[in-house]
Every structure is written in structure tokens, then in C-alpha cells.
Amino acid sequence: MATAARATPARPLVTSLVPELDAAGELHFVLCDFGRLGKAFVETDPARADRETVVEDILSGELSEPLRVIALRLDGTWHDVSAEVALEVVKRATVAGDTLTEGARNFVEAQLGGTEQPIPT
């Protein structure tokens, strides 16, 4: 007696347009200064648009001249999280004993310059 073949669910041909969000339910976009070419938001892979990745990319120099970080929620609201990201960059560099790249230092000074937060040099 033959057994019936079990049907497997069809895989979608198109990936979801709704990106995965970070723990806070946000996507992060970074405005960078490209010198003579001007300022622009960098291309953002939705899988790398979380705050953790932005902090790591600033620390590593991947984002060489960041100016602002904007967090967007899928409900359409947004807010500037530049100072929060700058503070996290400083905390991590301090804990690791690392120095900041020139671009990271410029970003941190622009965001936290009026605070008592020591900036790793």
C-alpha cells in the first residue's frame, strides 16, 4: 500500500518588506559627512539598523564621520538618539581602553561637548 506524500509549506518567493527591529522596536539611520560630496544618510541594511550595530560601526570607524543618529519606529514616529549613541560609544571605548577614531571623537564631542563625560583620546 502506497503512503501519501506529505506536503511541505511553500516558501515565499519575496522576502518580507518589514525589517527586523531592535529590542526597542527601532531602525537606526546615520547621517554622515562625506566632505566635498556633502552629507547623506548612509545606506542601511535592515539587518544592521539596530543601535548595537551603529555603536560598533562608529567605534570601528566603519561610519567614519557620523553627525546624527535617527531612530525610526514602524508606527511612523522618529527621534534623534545621537547623544544616547555618543554616550554608549564613550562608555564602550572607556571600558575597553580604546581610543576613538577622529570621526568618532568629532561625533562624541558634538553630542556631549557640554557634559562632564570624559572622552577617550
Give me the phi and psi of 70, to 5 degrees please: -110, 135
C-alpha cell at 58: 562608529
pLDDT at 43: 81
Chain segment 55-86, per-residue pLDDT in tens: 999 999 999 999 999 999 878 899 999 999 99
**Confidence category of residue 19, pLDDT binned at 50, 70, 90:** low
Q: What confidence score (pLDDT) does residue 44 get?
A: 79
Domain ranges of the chain: 26-112
CA 83/CA 79 separation, integer angstroms: 11
Distance CA 22, CA 55 (A): 13
Task: Considering only residues 110 and 10, tell me which one the structure prediction assigns the higher pLDDT.
Answer: 110
Sequence-distant (6+) residues with CB within 8 A of 39 are 31, 32, 33, 67
Task: With a cut of 60, say whether residue 7 has pLDDT above it.
Answer: no
Q: What is the pLDDT of residue 12?
A: 56
Q: In what order do the strands lie in the sheet with 39-41?
A: 39-41, 26-33, 66-73, 78-80
Helix (H/G/I), strand (E/B), else coil: 49 = coil
Tell me the sheet residues that pair with 79.
71
Q: How far from 16 is each of 7, 28, 43, 49, 77, CA to CA, in Å?
A: 23, 18, 18, 16, 21
Q: How does the average pLDDT of the chain come out, rounded?
A: 84
**79: enclosing H helix or E strand:** strand 78-80
